[in-house]
Each structure stands twice: as C-alpha cells, then as structure tokens.
C-alpha cells in the first residue's frame, strides 16, 4: 500500500501489513515536532508534494527494498497539507518472517524516502515560514 493522503489511519496501515507468514511488523511513524533543528516554536507545518513523481519514487524504493529483504507486506503512506504538532505525517511499515528484516527494511524505507521523494515541508514559526533544508 503506497499512497499520499490527507490523514493517516494507523489501523488501515496495520491491517495492510498482516500476513499469515509474517512474525514481525515494524512500523515507523513520523510526527510533527514542536522544535526544528536549532529553532523552537513551530506552530504548524505544510507538506507539498509533486504527487505523481512522489508515488513513482515511493514505488521504486519499495521495489529496491523487496529485492534486499524478504518482505511479505509493505506500507508507505505520506500526508500532504497542513499538520499540527504531534500529528503523524508519514507511516512506513514492513512485515517479514523474522523481525530483524522488518526493522532493517522499515528503516531503509524512511531513510530513503527522506532523501529522494519529492515532498516539501514548510515550517511556520510565530514570525516567519521556512522551507526545510532549502538553504545551506
């Protein structure tokens, strides 16, 4: 299950990961923190995506992960739009027969998603907005 949504449903993600031969499910949920690197007071965030390309990149990462690990089921869901502190913005999940593969593949997918999937985060502070990572 790979998709872009406005709101994450953890139960839906968990259900999509169930498989009779899976002994372990690793889920990663990224949430909005109230402080970004070196700054405090994030009040909200906006996520914008280049949607068709983001989905293609997510599918490509999933394919790479499936070659590296014996994954039974896989979930990559990212939200777009406005989020408040504490809200989930991304959920990644893998189910495998053995738990180490679930942890390793789940971590790979979130690490790579953050590097290559064309989604952008704008942080709102009291007095300014910042597109995260844009400037050195």
Summarize as ranges the residues that interact with its own copies (CB under 8 A).
Answer: 10-11, 14, 18-35, 85-86, 95, 97, 99-100, 102-103, 106-107, 110
Q: How far is the CB of 107 from its own copies (least distance, A)?
A: 5
Q: What is the dihedral of CA 99, 103, 106, 109, to 10 degrees?
A: -130
Binding of another protein by 128 (CB under 8 A): no
**How distant, in Å, are the alpha carbons of 16, 78, 109 from that of 97?**
15, 25, 18
Report strand pairing: 71-79 vs 2-5.
parallel
What is the binding site for another protein (CB under 8 A)?
30, 47-50, 52-54, 56, 78, 89-90, 110, 113-122, 131-136
């Amino acid at each position: 299950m790979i998709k872009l949504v406005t709101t994450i449903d953890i139960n839906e993600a968990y259900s999509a990961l169930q498989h009779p031969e899976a002994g372990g499910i690793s889920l990663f949920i990224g949430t909005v923190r109230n402080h970004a690197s070196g700054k405090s007071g994030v009040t909200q965030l906006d996520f914008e995506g280049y949607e068709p390309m983001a989905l293609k990149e997510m599918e490509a990462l999933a394919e790479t992960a499936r070659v590296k690990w014996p994954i039974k089921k896989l979930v990559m869901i990212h939200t777009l739009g406005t989020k408040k502190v504490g809200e989930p913005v991304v959920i990644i999940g893998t189910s495998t027969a053995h738990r180490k593969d679930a942890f390793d593949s789940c971590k790979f997918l979130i690490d790579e998603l953050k590097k290559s999937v064309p989604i952008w985060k704008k942080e709102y502070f009291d007095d300014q907005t910042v597109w995260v990572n844009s400037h050195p």
